[in-house]
């Protein structure tokens, strides 16, 4: 998985790539070609 500043190019790498937001982190997931996975940011620590 790549960690990127901008997911604009990661989203357009493959037609099946989707942007998903989980626990404050933005991911690009691609079920047909998993090598295109990427994420942006990291979850903030909350207690």
Q: Are 23 and 41 in contact (CB under 8 A)?
A: no
Residue with tokens 């989980």, as numbered in its chain = 22
How many residues comprise the chain? 47
pTM of the model: 0.70
Q: Determine the pLDDT at residue 47.
A: 65
User: What tens digit of pLDDT does each residue of 1-47 get?
Assistant: 888 888 888 888 888 888 999 888 899 998 898 888 899 977 777 76
CA distances from 16 to 26, 27, 29 (A): 16, 13, 8
């Amino acid at each position: 998985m790549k960690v990127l500043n901008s997911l604009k190019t990661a989203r357009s790498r493959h037609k099946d790539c989707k942007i998903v937001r989980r626990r404050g982190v933005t991911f690009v997931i691609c079920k047909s070609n998993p090598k295109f996975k990427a994420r942006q940011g990291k979850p903030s620590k909350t207690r």
